[in-house]
Amino acid sequence: MKLIGSYTSPYVRKISVMLLEKGLPFDFINDVPHEPGCKITQFNPLGKVPALVTDDGEVFYDSPIIVQYIELMNVAPTFLPWQPLEALRVKQIEALADGVTDAAVALVLENRREADKRNEAWVLRQREKLLRGLDALEKHAENRTLLNSDQLNVADIATACSLGYINFRRIAPGWCVERPALIKLVERLFLRESFARTTPPGSGNAGLATKKV
């Protein structure tokens, strides 16, 4: 398999972590959207990462779809419950974590604009969305049923990748205030080899050390 994406994308990291946890070999192809020579549109017409190319040449894109494909491979460990309704509940928390990431990415992109061209109302909406999402994730993490339980699932992975991105981009430095359950979640998961190997470059680790993993 080939995973196409950038080293700093939290959506790509989510897929990388899943593949590493399952011991599935894949080639990682670094391809940053919007940079000169970017080829992601050859795999995803929307020009977004990640994209996964199977051994048969079929392409899947958008991280929730790739998650579903990986789970359909029936390789242990599983990151979604077998019971459909329980799986849907876990995927809803994954969507919540991805939504927090969406808001964080929007803030990063807006902050790259010249100060006099930034839309402050837009920035405020995204920041409020991010903080509301983190509050909801904290409640789930406190409950320790669908998130932060003893069984690692895709909601845990998506949440940790989102928080890792927020830390990496320094978007909400005070996110950890009064969110102890999320702190414990990331402290526990960031010790795992899969997360250590996918740390974004410049975060104290070298990210995916090799192209073949």
* Lowest-confidence region among 48-57, 76-85, 105-114, 191-200: 105-114
| C-beta atoms surrounding 131 within 10 Å | 16
pLDDT of res. 206: 35
pLDDT of res. 209: 34
pLDDT of res. 204: 52
pTM for the whole structure: 0.93
Average pLDDT, the chain: 93
Q: Which pLDDT tens digit goes with each residue over 94-120? A: 999 999 999 999 999 999 988 888 899
Distances (CA, A) of 62 to 22, 92, 93, 121, 140: 20, 15, 16, 28, 24
Rg of the chain over CA atoms, in angstroms? 17
Q: What is the DSSP letter of 113?
A: S
Q: Give the separation between CA 178 and CA 209, rounded to whole angstroms.
A: 34
Strand partners, 27: 2, 212
pLDDT band for position 35 (50/70/90)?
confident
Q: Indicate if the pLDDT at residue 10 is higher than 90.
A: yes
* Lowest-confidence region among 5-19, 31-45, 165-179, 181-195: 31-45
DSSP string computed for 23-58: T---EEEE--TTSTT--GGGT-TT--S-EEE-TTS-
Domains of the chain: 2-72 (3.40.30.10), 84-192 (1.20.1050.10)
Name 14's Cβ contacts closer than 8 Å, sequence gap at least 6. Answer: 63, 67, 154, 157, 158, 161
